[in-house]
Structure 1
Amino acid sequence: MVGAEDPPGSTIPPRVLDQLAGGGDWISSWWTVAVALALAGLVVLWAVRRHRADRWSWPLWVVTALGVAFTLGIAANVIVGYVPNVAAARVSLASWGIGSPPPPLEHGSAEARSGGAGSGRVEAVHVPAPAADRMPGSSLTWIYTPPGYEAGSTRYPVVYLVHGSPGAGGDWFAAGNVPHAMDVLLENHLVEPMIVVGMDVNGTGPSAEDTECLDSTTGGSQVETYISETVIPWVDARYRTADDWRHRAIGGFSSGGFCALDQGLRHPELYGAILALDTTGDPGTGGQAMLATQAQWDQHDVTTYAKTVPLPHPVALFVDIAGANHGQPRADLTSIAADLRARGEDVVVREEQGLDHTLNFARQAIPYGLVFASAHLADKS
């Protein structure tokens, strides 16, 4: 049992953390960087020797340049954590419209392997949007269903996750490794079975790749409407969801975390819990491009309205901060958490020590958020 001093989402047992860790391969390994650098060095020595012997060496210099570029790309991926493994790369590429998504996978990661009774299912779907939403027609929504979903009649809570900017709907299922996290947490009885949905909130028009989940007043997408009136009803109609605020959460990282805060607090009729990971409390430059006036921007400034926004029922808040990030996200999230806690809301604040504002942080933080969400969404009928 979790004591009052150790609420759900604040800790995860070390043995479970060991199971959650890993999942990477050569594409996210410093060993790959070291080997690639060593090979590049050998090619340079070879090229120098050929040059001194008055033999053609330019092909070797081309190979060296390509090798250095490859090495820098792998190093950047290790630091940022965008693509933990080759299979996750397919999810990311499909989210960006490059190649086809993998078929429904009977397991809890973006890696094709045989599934079993303890593994969930991942699929990529198109959610058709009406023309008035002004959303791209090719975006993918990624959906995790828990073990046993297909064989039963149970209705499940849903956690909606929003990517950062730049990003795409598959980020939580690739870089975030959410399906694997769900399988591990379920196996260790830290969460109840839930459906997890990775939404794509990239739009069209001004600030197409940083919509902040807003309804644009400058000719762009109507993303807030798309989420609340298109995606959620579509998922509820096609999956066995428990379709009320008591069983629905929204979360995200970076600009997706702002989306979770703003949508979760402005739409308590839809959500009962919010997961905000290292984000700011205002719409930022994306909001300035999406909205025509300062007054409209101010209406979405969570740091201002958190004290007074009408909340007809409890809305629980989970906050996680990147420990190495001492900028606006820390200040804003600390302020918003304090405001909601003062209003009597259930608030948990964590910090991931030593991590910066990267997808490595998001991947480490999201299991805690899922535990928190499950505790607040389970059996609230």
Structure 2
Amino acid sequence: MRALTPLELPRPVLDAAAGQSPLTQWWVPAVAVVVALILTAVVVRRWLLHHGAPWRRVPEVALAMLAWAVAAALGVNSWYSIVPDLSALQREVESGLGLPVSYRTADGAHVKEHLLPASSTLGMPESSVWVYTPPGYDPAGGVRYPVVYLIHGDPGTSTNWFTVGRADQVVDAMIRAHVIPKVIVVSPDVNGGGVHDRECLNSRNGGPQIESWLYDELVPWVDTSFRTQADAQHRILGGMSSGGYCALDQGLRHLDVWGGIVALEAYGDPGLGAATTMGYHLADFERVSPTHYIARMEFPRKVPIFLDVGQLSDPNRVEALVTALRARGQDPTFQVEAGQGHTWQMARVGMPYGLDDVAAGLGWR
């Protein structure tokens, strides 16, 4: 098992992935805690020194409680890096309110949130899909581009890879540094309505058919709406946490669609809770669990696979998947991010290494 990050990337790419801002620094919640302590002390002192109707203290108590709530929220955000900066917060809010999100990056790439129509046959509601087209992209031009699909975790939505995940800034930096060619990046919502842990799978009890939607609706829509290189050799499927499981499972079971896999903080099965909710029995569960089926797989080719996990997470879980893949003649890259846990910070750090590694394995550069 690799204990440290062995691959190398240019400094601008690492800086874009790090995504440090005041909202993710440890001292911000620390200051908020100090403010909350001061307010609490003032409220207690006034309560002890000034007798009278208790209702007069209600606004002061409410203010102190609000200060503690803000400190707690900032602490969670500092650890998990849920909202890395104010622009990410703005886009999360706009998307949540149903406002159209469309913007240009500093390098001239275009990011836009699209809405795919509902599919009654697949039980899928209208679905949000964020798409990044690279600098210089011309919808009427002759150039076609490889495509990177990124799947969010649970809980999560299609916005995550372009807000907390900073995919736009990271991919901009990778293109600028000639680490990868110009690519299209697609981030779909795979919840099937609301925020549900459905693991990119088809429900067996009347729920949404998310796996079928990926191949019957999403990929064809991307290939007809954008200038893509529409074959497996030019598609990478990536994701983090439950999205990492989705990338690994879908990538392995649909090798005719996906050329390579970037699985960050991946699991080897969909989890008994999610499987039970969707009506899966034991045989169904094993059929969609890489932990179970890799040992029986016959691979038609070498598949570029990148598996990454935080050192503070569960490296042994991911190493078991690596061992199983190697036993079947595959040669996945396995990386452990030093000092990282199961967070979006880890996903931001690991994603450019994965794109670099798998793109090279597919001959994109």
TM over 0.5, shorter chain: yes
Cα distance in 1 for residues equivalent to 2:97 and 2:72: 22
Indicate whether 1:295 and 2:276 are aligned: no
- Compute the displacement of 1:106 (Å): 1.2
> Residues 257-298 of structure 1: CA distance to partner in whole angstroms, max 9, x if unpaired?
111111111111101101111121111121222233211111
Residue 90 of structure 1: aligned partner:
90
Cα distance in 2 for residues equivalent to 1:235 and 1:195: 10
Q: Which amino acid aligns with 2:179?
A: L
Indicate whether 1:100 and 2:99 are aligned: yes
Indicate whether 1:255 and 2:242 are aligned: yes
Residue 67 of structure 1: aligned partner:
67
> Residues 296-329 of structure 1: CA distance to partner in whole angstroms, max 9, x if unpaired?
1111121121133243333211000111123xxx
Residue 359 of structure 1: aligned partner:
344
Q: Which amino acid aligns with 1:337?
A: V
Indicate whether 1:227 and 2:227 are aligned: no
- Compute the displacement of 1:256 (Å): 0.7
Change (3 A) 1:278 1:22: closer
Change (3 A) 1:378 1:148: farther
**Which ranges of 4 or more aligned residues in structure 1 deviate by more than 6 Å?**
none
Between stretches 72-81 and 14-23, larger displacement belongs to 14-23
Cα distance in 2 for residues equivalent to 1:93 and 1:305: 40
Counterpart contact for 1:143–1:197, Cα < 8 Å:
yes
Cα distance in 1 for residues equivalent to 2:18 and 2:302: 36
Indicate whether 1:153 and 2:165 are aligned: no
Q: Which amino acid aligns with 1:200?
A: D
Counterpart contact for 2:249–2:288, Cα < 8 Å:
yes
Counterpart contact for 2:304–2:362, Cα < 8 Å:
no
Cα distance in 1 for residues equivalent to 2:124 and 2:334: 34
Cα distance in 2 for residues equivalent to 1:369 and 1:13: 11
Indicate whether 1:130 and 2:119 are aligned: yes
Counterpart contact for 1:90–1:101, Cα < 8 Å:
no
- Unaligned 5+ runs, structure 1: 1-8, 108-114
Indicate whether 1:325 and 2:310 are aligned: no
1:154-233 alignment, distance < 5 Å: 154-204=143-193, 209-233=196-220
Cα distance in 2 for residues equivalent to 1:99 and 1:87: 17
- Compute the displacement of 1:14 (Å): 5.9
Q: Which structure carries more relative contact order (alpha carbon 8 Å, separation 6+)?
A: 2
Cα distance in 1 for residues equivalent to 2:97 and 2:67: 24
- Compute the displacement of 1:220 (Å): 1.1
- Compute the displacement of 1:17 (Å): 5.1
Change (3 A) 1:10 1:173: farther
Between stretches 22-31 and 342-351, larger displacement belongs to 22-31
Q: Which amino acid aligns with 1:31?
A: W
Change (3 A) 1:355 1:141: same
Indicate whether 1:306 and 2:289 are aligned: no
**Count of equivalent residues:** 356
Residue 50 of structure 2: aligned partner:
53
CA RMSD of superposed structures (Å): 2.3
Counterpart contact for 2:13–2:173, Cα < 8 Å:
no
Q: Which amino acid aligns with 1:180?
A: Q
Cα distance in 1 for residues equivalent to 2:191 and 2:326: 32
1:340 to 315, 325, 328: 325
1:236-251 alignment, distance < 5 Å: 236-251=223-238
Q: Which amino acid aligns with 1:312?
A: P
- Compute the displacement of 1:140 (Å): 1.3
Q: Which amino acid aligns with 2:137?
A: Y
- Compute the displacement of 1:21 (Å): 4.8
